[in-house]
Amino acid sequence: MRRLRGLTVADLLIGLAVVALMSALVLPTVRARSFRSLTLHAVSEVDAVRDAVTRSFAQRGSWPAPTEAGEIPPGRSPEIGADSSRARPDYTIRWSVWEIVEHVEAPPMAPTLPGDAEPPAGSVEPTLVPMVGSLGGIVLYSANEDLLAELLARYGSQASFVRDTTWTLIVDRPAIRP
């Protein structure tokens, strides 16, 4: 075999094989740590936004205004942190509000004309009355399908869903205390 500055070709091939083997062992660990860090960062930001808008709803009785992607709900920056942007290289968070119609059970109507007899108890079923309300949600945009799947699994007990490159978490309205 031919020697190259004291090394043979076989020595170089063995060295390359050792480097490739070490890379194959270390690279998955580095990627897993990086993904875990990304997930924890996204979860902490989602939780911070959810806590801030829930407090806002409890104080004012309504959701903060919707935001553009990467922005924090108005007036919530001090509660969420000094960094008021929610746009990151791997994902962007947006607060959204949707109007909804809920059907609420209403008691049966009382007779409207004098002299009308009351209906027998249990003979009139309650009616459903439409009520307009609002629903809040945190929307996270990311091309990283693993991140979206991880968020879906992590918030599995809450109403959330993934569609295309977005994950949406529906935020429950807190009980308003008088």
- Collapsing DSSP to helix, strand or coil, 99 comes out as strand
Decide: 106 and 128 in contact? Cβ < 8 Å.
yes
Count CB neighbours of 118 within 10 A.
10
The domain in which residue 83 lies consists of 8-171
Residue 29 lies in a domain: yes
> What sign does the CA torsion over 40, 42, 47, 48 have?
positive
Q: How many CA atoms lie within 13 A of 66 on its CB side?
A: 12
Model pLDDT for residues 144-161, shown as the tens digit of each residue: 999 999 999 999 888 999
Calpha distance 81→10 (Å, rounded): 57
Number of domains in the chain: 1
Q: Which two tokens mark 65?
A: 């205004």
Dihedral of CA atoms 138, 144, 148, 151 in degrees, nearest 10, equals -90
Q: What is the DSSP letter of 167?
A: E
- The CA distance from 65 to 79, in Å, is 16
More confident residue, 51 or 109: 51
The closest alpha carbon to 85, from 110, 100, 101, 68, belongs to: 68
Residue 101 counted as domain residue? yes
Q: Is residue 145 part of a domain?
A: yes
Per-residue pLDDT tens over the stretch 87-145: 678 899 999 998 888 888 877 666 566 667 666 666 666 778 888 888 899 999 999 99
> Are 81 and 46 contacting, i.e. CB atoms less than 8 angstroms apart?
no
Residue 61 has pLDDT above 50, yes or no: yes
Judge whether 61 lies within some domain. Answer: yes
* Rg of the chain (C-alpha set): 28
Q: Is residue 1 a part of any domain in this protein?
A: no
In a domain, 176, yes or no: no
